[in-house]
Amino acid sequence: MTEQNPPPLTVTAPADAGGARLDKWLAEAGIGMSRSRLRALIEEGKVTLNGMPATDPSAKVVAGGTYLVVPPPPLAAEPHAEDIPLDVLFEDKHLIIINKPPGMVVHPAAGQETGTLVNALLHHCGPDLTGIGGVARPGIVHRLDKDTSGVMVAAKTEATHTALTAMFAAHNIERAYLAVTRGSPRPLIGRIETNIARSQTDRKKMAVVKEKHFRADAWSNDPNLVGDDTLHGKIAITNYRVLQTFGRLDATGTQPAAALVECRLETGRTHQIRVHMAHIGAPVLGDQTYGKHRWLKADGKGPAFERATAATKAFERQALHAFILGFEHPITKKALRFEAPPPADMQALIDALKAMPGS
């Protein structure tokens, strides 16, 4: 039998609620949803005030206003196994290492309930995987964005999941990414250390939090002092080095048109590399969220230049690939390190850029 969509929920703000933070007040209004779930619904436009969208979770509640919350359709209690091919780099009875292709979502969510890595893992690993780490995302201890490719680990037992989660939290994992950037970072080797928070102007994006937004205690390790990470952000550290530059931005040849950059993470914030590269003026090519332009800006002429320009315009995802993952096996204690080359589409982009004059 098909499940019915839950009905919209209506709540009117009393006089003493005026000025309260919207997501916090709704969570305390007895409608049966967590603050984090309500925050997501607000950002998705599923909450209205007197018939008008209310899309800012931090907005002040309007006394006397009528708020309508539209819950999403119910998801299946458990994701279903699907016969989706996986590029398996390593597997034992404790864990599995895969090379995720671009375009694959890691776990089911509203609007993407099938075709995910979790669906594929359930088929590949069998029913023993169900429930590990939570029903909605069994075995998952970290994730890559849908359009980011590369090496991932998933746990096959509860003990492995717990240990890997702790290792990621303690940053005891070697993680390296390859990014093709528009322009080149300066200097060629650097360390980016900022706080990252959800953007205050576009709730679907992350942003570097400017210093004037920090409290004096915002760098404390005590979560009770830092407060809401929406306002203060969380520390994010990316170490990078330019491996190769391509073409030239102008006739002087002093500024590259693009670059191949290795990024190593000390932290794992949402969209961290994409935000940091854009922050230093070298956004990841193809990034439609954080790059002002997806295509190449360069000075040049001739067939090689035209092919490179066409390749960048045709590349419809961020050129980002997780190419190294290394850690100590949490059960056997053996050193594990896996490396995967860029997928065919990203390698074709790199080859086209390499052929440009000035590369």
We report the CATH number of the domain holding residue 258 as 3.30.2350.10
Same structural domain for residues 110 and 207? no
Residue 306's domain spans which residues? Answer: 177-354
Which pLDDT does position 33 carry in this prediction?
74
42 and 114 share a domain?
A: no
Q: Is 229 a catalytic residue?
A: no
**For residue 225, what pLDDT is reported?**
30
**Top-confidence residue, 353 or 303:** 353
Q: Are residues 210 and 262 in the same domain?
A: yes
Pair 185, 157 in one domain: no
The token pair at 178 is 């390859």
Question: Do residues 24 and 35 touch, judged by C-beta distance below 8 A?
Answer: yes
Residue 3 within any structural domain of the chain: no
Statement to judge: residues 240 and 331 lie in one domain:
yes
Maximum Cα–Cα distance across the chain: 69
Angle, CA 105 vertex, CA 103 and CA 111 arms, to 5°: 110
Q: Which of 23, 145, 147, 345 is catalytic?
A: 145
When comparing pLDDT for 116 and 35, which is higher? Answer: 116
Say what percent of the chain tops pLDDT 70.
84
Same-domain check for residues 260 and 203: yes
- Bond into 187 cis (ω within 30): yes
Question: Stretch 88-104: mean pLDDT, rounded?
Answer: 96
As a whole-number percent, the residues of the chain with pLDDT over 90 amount to: 51
pLDDT at 149 over 60: yes
Q: What was the pLDDT predicted at 223?
A: 34
Domain identity same for 190 and 281: yes
**Report for 124-133, 147-156, 229-238: range of highest mean pLDDT:** 147-156
Contact 158, 208 (CB under 8 A): no
Give pLDDT tens digits for 188-224: 999 999 999 888 777 678 889 864 333 333 333 333 3
348 and 257 in a common domain? yes
**pLDDT tier for residue 107 given thresholds of 50, 70 and 90:** confident
Q: Which residue has the higher pLDDT, 126 or 320?
A: 320
Entry pTM: 0.73
